[in-house]
A and B are shown apart, each in its own frame.
Chain A
Amino acid sequence: MRGQLSYLGVELARPRVAFFELTSCEGCQLQILNNEASLLDFLSLVEVVNFREAMTERHDDYDVAFVEGSVSRADEADRLRAIRANAKILVALGSCACFGGVNQLKNRFRDLDWVKREVYGDFPIITQEVLPLSAVVDVDLCIYGCPIRKEEVEKIVTNLVLGKAISHPRYPVCMECQASQNICLFDLGEPCLGPVTRAGCNAWCPSNRRGCWGCRGPADDANLAQLEKIMAERGVSAEAMLDRLECFGGFATQADLLRSAAADGRKP
């Protein structure tokens, strides 16, 4: 039913792919199912051998493992290591996997006992500091975004099949935002992390008049010091800048710096 794949006379292997999730909202996997128009083409390009969200069958011999979510418990770290051992290519799918995502927001409290009590009272529960995949295993490829963009996943998978290198834009979101003819949000009085965030989302948020919150992490050579000045000049509070920087974990280092600089007692 599915013949050998080939392109320009070069025979291509159909990769066996598997999807896994750790601590996450499972949205990035869902984005793949959200590919209505091209889902069937996508499915004929690869052989899905493991996708718990969509299918019951599973196999452990896969070439490419897409892992969504971050690591927040010891058992997850073990699962991740096992996946790493099986996979030829391990892909971090989405911001949780790449940077810790929103999950890492709890790391800012340092005091994990307080965090547990706040939600579960005295009931015992296991959790640890939230980590991106790369803190536990080697990651071959990152697909950024919260959520990921299906067009990007399709392009990446096509390139994987073809053996083309996967490269992300190295420049910031502004580039795509301006090319979308948007009014810059700063002109509307809204803060935006577009000038420092890695492009590739096609300025998803600014095109909808929502400032960028940096879900794709920093662009190469991001000039955060200048953005801080710009925000301050325009009357954006340091807190609002920090909220955005710390939201998805991509700017964790800078957020930590800002937070300790502010030390504004927001910690309970």
Chain B
Amino acid sequence: MLFKVFAKDELPKLFDLLAANPVIAPVQKGVDQHGVPLFDFDVVHDFADLRLDYTSTIHSAKRYFLPYAETLATFTVDKGGWEKQVDLNIDRRQVLFGLHACDINALNKLDKVLVQSAYPNPFYAAKRRNMFIIGLQCTPRPQCFCRSMGTDFALHGFDMFLTDLGDSYFAEILSAAAFQFMARIVTREPGHDDHERYKAVVAEKNGRFQAKVDSSDLTKILDMEFESPAWKAWGDKCLSCGTCANVCPTCYCYGVEENVDLDLTGAVKTRRLHSCNLIDFAVVAGGHNFRPHSHARLKYRYYHKHRGFVEAFEEALCVGCGRCGEACLAGITVPAVIASVREGG
């Protein structure tokens, strides 16, 4: 890790240098009915469209790594037989400009299951490796609980990370590529003052967290409270709509769909993000459904994220970004669910 400081007006220059590659960044998508701006990631061409002051985005940046729907293979079929073609659907490096720590940590978690385990997923890996990531220090919202999940700081998984010091940016440089870009703008070595300011910014950030999740002994508690009435209560509210999985930066479960072309000379195999809250998630041959009730499915989402994943990778599959709770029309939030299960209903 290398630290640099640069004046704010150098940032557009950095952007322009990077803009030789497709750049994805937070932009404003509209305002809600109360006039609050709504942000999301999108491809940007102009630095002026960037909203680096964004709070959180509606959807995570996950789709640039794991598209909601992705072609896994195409087939050409003729009388003689068939051939399979596989394309990883990425042919160039891209830049993700302004990712908060929680979302970087989300990618690090996905790496564990999708890259660093048996049978790595090349579709994900190719996009992940080809994403140049500039992290950005955030200002926590009331619903953020990343601090409880230990994901409020990113230690790796990015190329550089910026913290706004007021008139300048404090940059942590992690990759050689990032170092080379930094050499093209005017930077300086951070001095004592910069370090002090950096620490002050971080302290200020830490003071803002409101939401909390108590994850101590959670794997055991989840097991003990398997029959807790809390699940039923939350399940009654759940719409089984899958919105939580769609907005979540760490949900990756999917389904595969195969379709033959209309002219019968080819076929397509598509991966589609699924959600464990959807009714057919666990249906098997003969129509048996292992989780026919919404409470069983909802419980399963927590089991996977806060128990199963912890057992496998020693960390939860949740970064505390709060997106699912905010997107859920029924108002089901992670802190509330976990607190009620802890209390045993």
Q: Does A8 contact B (CB under 8 A)?
A: yes
Inter-subunit contact A155/B259 (CB<8 Å) = yes
Inter-subunit contact B58/A183 (CB<8 Å) = yes
Inter-subunit contact A221/B240 (CB<8 Å) = yes
Q: Does B299 contact A (CB under 8 A)?
A: no
Contact pick for B329, options A6, A171, A186, CB 8 Å:
A186
Q: Whole-angstrom distance between the alpha carbons of A243 and B58 in the complex?
A: 29
Contact with A along B1-35 (1 / 0, CB 8 A): 00000000000000000000000000001101100
Inter-subunit contact A8/B279 (CB<8 Å) = no
Q: Given A188-B32, A195-B241, is A171 in contact with B262 using a C-beta cutoff of 8 Å? A: no
- Closest residue of A by beta carbon distance from B82: A8
Q: A17-25, A89-97, A138-146, A222-230: which one contacts chain B?
A: A222-230
Inter-subunit contact B59/A174 (CB<8 Å) = no
Q: Does B273 contact A (CB under 8 A)?
A: yes
Q: B87-95, B115-123, B199-207, B242-250: which one contacts chain A?
A: B242-250
Inter-subunit contact A184/B327 (CB<8 Å) = yes
Inter-subunit contact B260/A162 (CB<8 Å) = yes
Residue tally, chain B, CB below 8 Å to A: 40
Inter-subunit contact B330/A178 (CB<8 Å) = no
- The A8-34 residues at the B interface (CB cut-off 8 A) are 8-9, 12
Inter-subunit contact A226/B242 (CB<8 Å) = no
Inter-subunit contact A230/B247 (CB<8 Å) = no
Expressed in whole angstroms, the minimum distance between the Cβ of A29 and any Cβ of chain B is 18
Contact with B along A189-229 (1 / 0, CB 8 A): 10000111000000000000000000000011101001100
- The B316-332 residues at the A interface (CB cut-off 8 A) are 327, 329-330
Contact with B along A124-168 (1 / 0, CB 8 A): 000000000000000000000000000000110011011000000
Inter-subunit contact A195/B264 (CB<8 Å) = no
Inter-subunit contact A196/B239 (CB<8 Å) = yes
Chain A residues within an 8 Å CB radius of B196 = none
- Closest residue of B by beta carbon distance from A157: B262
- The B212-265 residues at the A interface (CB cut-off 8 A) are 236-243, 246-247, 259-264
Q: Does A51 contact B (CB under 8 A)?
A: no
Q: Whole-angstrom distance between the alpha carbons of A178 and B262 in the complex?
A: 28
Q: Does B278 contact A (CB under 8 A)?
A: yes
Inter-subunit contact B327/A7 (CB<8 Å) = no
Chain B residues within an 8 Å CB radius of A6 = 79, 264
- Closest residue of A by beta carbon distance from B273: A179
Chain B residues within an 8 Å CB radius of A264 = none
Q: Given A9-B79, A41-B263, A187-B33, is A172 in contact with B241 using a C-beta cutoff of 8 Å? A: yes
Q: Does A175 contact B (CB under 8 A)?
A: yes
Chain A residues within an 8 Å CB radius of B68 = 179
Contact pick for A181, options B33, B59, B243, CB 8 Å:
B59
Q: Whole-angstrom distance between the alpha carbons of A189 and B329 in the complex?
A: 12
Q: Given A170-B280, A220-B279, A223-B240, is A183 in contact with B38 using a C-beta cutoff of 8 Å? A: yes
Q: Whole-angstrom distance between the alpha carbons of A97 and B84 in the complex?
A: 40
Q: Whole-angstrom distance between the alpha carbons of A171 and B274 in the complex?
A: 10
Interface centre among A41, A181, A186 (most CB of B within 10 A): A181
Inter-subunit contact B294/A223 (CB<8 Å) = yes
Contact pick for A7, options B237, B238, B264, B273, CB 8 Å:
B264
Chain B residues within an 8 Å CB radius of A223 = 236-240, 294
- In the assembled complex, 21 residue pairs joining A and B whose CB atoms fall closer than 8 Å, in A order, are A5-B264, A6-B79, A159-B260, A170-B279, A170-B280, A171-B241, A171-B278, A175-B241, A178-B59, A178-B243, A178-B327, A181-B40, A181-B58, A184-B329, A187-B38, A189-B32, A194-B241, A195-B241, A219-B240, A223-B238, A226-B239
| Nearest 9 A/B pairs, CB to CB | A189-B33, A178-B246, A179-B68, A174-B241, A175-B242, A171-B278, A187-B32, A195-B239, A41-B262
Residues of A at the B interface (CB closer than 8 Å) are 5-9, 12, 38, 41-42, 44-45, 154-155, 158-159, 161-162, 170-172, 174-175, 178-179, 181, 183-184, 186-189, 194-196, 219-221, 223, 226-227, 230
